Structure 1
Amino acid sequence: MKQSFGIKVLGCTVGAGMVIGTLGSVVPAAPALAFGEAGPASPVAVWQRAAVDYDKVPNVQGGFSFTQDQLTPSDEMFNLFGTAATAICAKPGYAFDEVSREEYFVNVGGNVEQVYSIGLDEIERMDKQMKQMRCTCGMSANIAMASVTGVKVSDIVEMAGVGAGVNTITFKDKDGYGLPMPLSYVMEKDAMLVYQIGGKPLPGNERLQVWIPDTVAKYFTRAVTDIELSVSEEVPEVEGPDMDQRAKVSILNTVSESFKVGDLIAFEGYADDCGTQVVAVEFSLDGGETWTSYDTTSSNTEDWVYWHFDYVAEQPGTFKLDVRAVTEDGTVSPLASSVVFEVEA
């Protein structure tokens, strides 16, 4: 009989992003193995074994599959906008006073041929783009995957005309917050000014956000009011995630009941590295002494890897499943994800 944990997608706020269901303990991950292999861990992994004497299953086997079109529920994302603490993406939140489309304008200026302002109502009449895109915090485990609607930044910039030597673009909010980025980077990534997430307008005075593929959330300026083009002596670098936030992985199951020997237990979660391909997802049921690796080299880098792992309980006991990811450049999740479950005779 197949049984699943109760799935609970969390909408918590930590730092500048959104937590999507990181359950159980988070522990340092041991070095990776080649695809399909299961073997002993290196000494680096020894200390991660829990003090609790969990029952162990070496070289755990199960059914594995993954997709890349699973989205974060829109309601969970918009719950964040109702808080005064922080919302998804860049800059801590503030009180949201309602601003109508007719009252919302974006100013395009700096080193341009023609300074101009454009209203949100006019932006919404432009050629719209719809895209599935991730928003991931570079300093925490927070991540979300959403369907966004908006316009290309390139279309907005072309209306102003780029001045000679311009190499930098900065998206700013009403308080002047914004991080400079290379203009070429923003154009090549097909950055968007987003006015809908999951088909719903952004709330309050947000109205417009910058979304950029394969880019950490601190560059996703919220409530954009100004786009500034400039010439920098040194082109700013776009920073990626902190090293301890590479190869993010999480189990999204919560334990709602115990299971019986012979039950097929369905786990699911995600793995992602913000633009670097995830080439494997690995599982351990013996505290990291052995890992079994499943190939995800057919995945793209634009979307997270949403994995499913089905395990048939073969013996009673208390077990801890650990999961980690491996990227194409050899990075192994510094923080693995774990969940504990009970199997009865």
Structure 2
Amino acid sequence: MAMRKPAIWGATLCCCALGASLAACVPEVEQETTESSQSGAVELAGGEKPAAGLEEIQEEMTDLCEEYAPTIETLEDGRQVQKVPDDAGGSAFWAFPTAYNLYYLNAENRGCESCHQDGLIDVLEKLPIRHWDLENGLDTNTDVTNCVICHDETTGETLVGPYQFGNLIRGIHSKESFKGDCMTCHAVTSDGTGMQLWEEAKYDAFNGMVDVANVQGEFTYDQDTIAGDTVEMTKYAGPDSEPLDKAYQEEPVDTSEYEDWSIAVTGMLDNPKEWTLAELIEQAPSKTTVSTMQCNISGTGSEWIVNAEVKGIPIEWILEQAGVQEGATTITAHDAEGWGTKGPTSYGSGTSIEDCLEAGGLLIYEINGRPLTRAEGFPCRMWWPGHAISNSGRWVSEIYISNDPYHLLDGEGLKGEPSTAGHWHPSKETDVGFANKPVTGIMGTPEGLIIAPGEKYEFEGYAYAMDEQVTSVEFSMDGGETWTSFDTSDSDKYRWVYWHFTWTAPEKETGGYVLQVRATTDNGRVSYEPDQVMVNVKQMS
């Protein structure tokens, strides 16, 4: 079964925060021990089993299953989840029940949530050092595989050394307050290749999982669904940034500031311009549109993505007033502190003029019918569909036109792929080239959701590919052996494909079912990793 989310590049700030502060929340985990004789033989409780008939043996095993039945949790909305499937039998007495998942695998005491029972989001919120918020109102499932988006030693140019996932997590969990062992976090491979994270391997380890070849269901999609709480998901400027300081203090916005906020248009121009934002809003045409933005480090199933209605001033109109000179190729946004400066070492907040105009680039001041927040870039920010949101600079005070080649390819997704060197994810033979394009996510389906036999259930989520068109969304229920494809070739590449897949749970075959989703693009790309979620088909009394 494929890993749930890809290991891709990350942000140094995010990594430093996690590395410095997870140690404060290492849990107390009690570990059962057994006494052993001096010869090293382990003494097991229970002793020899007396002679018994098959009916009595079946009763013994049934009692064990009841004692080690998976936990069922009722959520606030009344839905029930069971994160470990019921056993499907298969003991030495083949037709009899077994307690394999809990008695042998000890599955509910493995993985991050066995200790951090309120989830990793809760852990991050309680850290003594601030960590970027991984939630954005999309209701996806966050687990440890989200951590390696930033904390990976093989994919990030800046994330080497002290931020390596393996060293970081093992160091934290070697402290005295952690009483677990290797198997608390890991599964052992059967082919001798080493250890995997439990979250990565659990579906293959569970008894009671059911595969469905060529899974069938009803598929629809739209591109107008508005979702995502904020567009503040941008790499932050330095500590001397006044706009950022106000953002951290959550200072309320006041649109009267439009009167004092100046925006200069400079560079290779016949007629350089400068307006206040209030003057621009009064003089220029406005445009309202729906489009998608995602962070450049947002991977499979992540929430740093938004489909929003934005209102702003067309960049095309601004450039017409200023008169772009022949030979100019690049448009770059700068903020009041110089964020987005020129040159090869600066943080990218630019794109080609051609791409900007083709995508309908805007200087926006409203999102979803309200002014931007400070963190989102109030009073105004760039909005360049087809690129990562890091290119759409915040707090814009200058629009610079040049033939600077450095920013022409900014924000097109994360190139590079994980390798086996020092990393727990196996390398794959692939020509994808991007770790998160196209990207998919499953929204609103909690891990282990219980679905009644015969019930129709509607999965939903997103697919997006930045500057490429999503031409199909595909589903699998047999670990990626077969895929059922649905055509989306009439979609707009600048807005996500918000899909719905209605599946009918089998009437008779209960157990755990894992739905995977991936997407393809008009350039032939296939999602590097699918998103996935397990549901339990089970009749509740």
Into which bin does the TM-score normalised by the smaller protein fall?
A: 0.7 to 0.9
2:260 to 100, 103, 123: 103
**CA–CA separation in structure 2 for the residues paired with 1:235 and 1:337:** 33
**Which residue number in structure 1 is paired with residue 438 of structure 2?**
247
AA matched with 2:530 = A
Shift of 1:244: 0.4
Matches within 5 A, 1:297-316: 297-314=489-506, 315-316=509-510
Larger RCO, structures 1/2 (Cα 8 Å, 6+ apart): 1
3-state SS of paired residue (1:184)? helix
The answer as to 2:422 corresponding to 1:228 is no
Structure 2 partner of 1:32: none
Partner of 1:245, secondary structure, is coil
Corresponding residue of 1:237: 408
CA deviations 1:193-236 (Å, max 9, x no partner) are 0000011111236211111121222211011011122344x575
Shift of 1:121: 1.2
Q: In structure 2, how many angstroms separate the alpha carbons of the residues matched to 1:297 and 1:340?
A: 28
Q: 2:373 aligned with 1:203, yes or no?
A: yes
- Unmatched tracts of structure 1, length 5 or more: 28-46, 81-86
- CA distance in 2: counterparts of 1:219 and 1:342, whole angstroms: 41
Structure 2 residue identity aligned to 1:107 = A
Q: Does 1:133 align with 2:291?
A: yes
Structure with bigger strand share is 1
1:24–1:344 Cα change, 3 Å: farther
Distance 1:104 1:248 in 2: 37
In structure 2, distance between residues paired with 1:111 and 1:182: 14
Summarize the Cα distance change of 1:257–1:213 in structure 2 as closer, same or farther, 3 Å threshold.
closer
Tell me if structure 1 keeps the 8 A contact 2:291–2:496: no
- 2 CA distance for matches of 1:251 and 1:228? 39
- Does residue 282 of structure 1 match 2:474? yes
Contact 1:322 1:336 (8 Å CA) reproduced: yes
How far the C-alpha of 1:15 sits from its partner, in A, is 9.1
Q: Do the aligned residues in 2 keep the contact of 1:17 with 1:89 (CA within 8 Å)? A: no
> SS where residue 323 of structure 1 aligns?
strand
Give TM-score scaled by structure 1 length. 0.79
SS of the equivalent of 1:60 reads coil
TM-score (norm 2): 0.52
Could you say which residue in structure 1 is the equivalent of 2:224? 69
> How many residues end up aligned between the 2 structures?
308
| Residues 16 and 217, structure 1, Cα contact 8 Å, conserved in 2 | no
Post-superposition offset of 1:283: 1.3
2-structure distance, mates of 1:268, 1:146: 18
- Specify the alignment match of 2:457 in structure 1: 265
Deviation at 1:281, TM superposition (A): 1.3
1:127–1:283 distance in 2 versus 1, CA, 3 Å: same
**Counterpart Cα distance in 1 of 2:359 and 2:536:** 46
User: How far is 1:62 from its partner?
Assistant: 1.1
- Give the corresponding residue for 1:50: 204
Residue 183 of structure 1: CA displacement? 2.7
CA-atom RMSD in angstroms: 3.0
> What amino acid does structure 1 have at the position aligned with 2:204?
A
3-state SS in 2 of match to 1:244: coil
Distance in 1 (alpha carbons) for counterparts of 2:406 and 2:497: 32
Relative to 1, partners in 2 of residues 1:24 and 1:262: Cα closer, same or farther, differing over 3 Å? farther
Shift of 1:153: 1.2
The answer to whether the 8 A contact 1:249-1:324 is kept is: yes
Q: What secondary structure is seen at the aligned counterpart in 1 of 2:516?
A: strand
Bigger CA radius of gyration = 2
- Aligned-partner Cα distance in 2 for 1:257–1:124: 49
Q: Percent identity?
A: 29
Q: Report what 1:43 is aligned to.
A: none
Partners in 2 of 1:298 and 1:185 — Cα distance? Answer: 21
Give ranges in structure 2 of 5+ residues lacking alignment.
Answer: 1-77, 81-120, 125-130, 147-199, 238-243, 341-348, 415-433
Q: Which amino acid aligns with 2:205?
A: A
- Once the two structures are overlaid, the 10-residue window that deviates more, 116-125 or 88-97, is 88-97
Q: 2:281 & 2:134 partners in 1: Cα distance? A: 27
Q: Deviations over 1:130-186 (max 9, x none)?
A: 111111222222311111100011222333333454333221011211234333332
Cα 1:338–1:14 shift into 2, 3 Å = farther
- Aligned pairs (5 A) from 1:321-340: 321-340=515-534
CA distance in 2 between partners of 1:202 and 1:341 (Å): 38
The Cα offsets for residues 97-149 of structure 1, whole Å up to 9 and x where unpaired, read as 54622121112223333443211111222210111111122222231111110
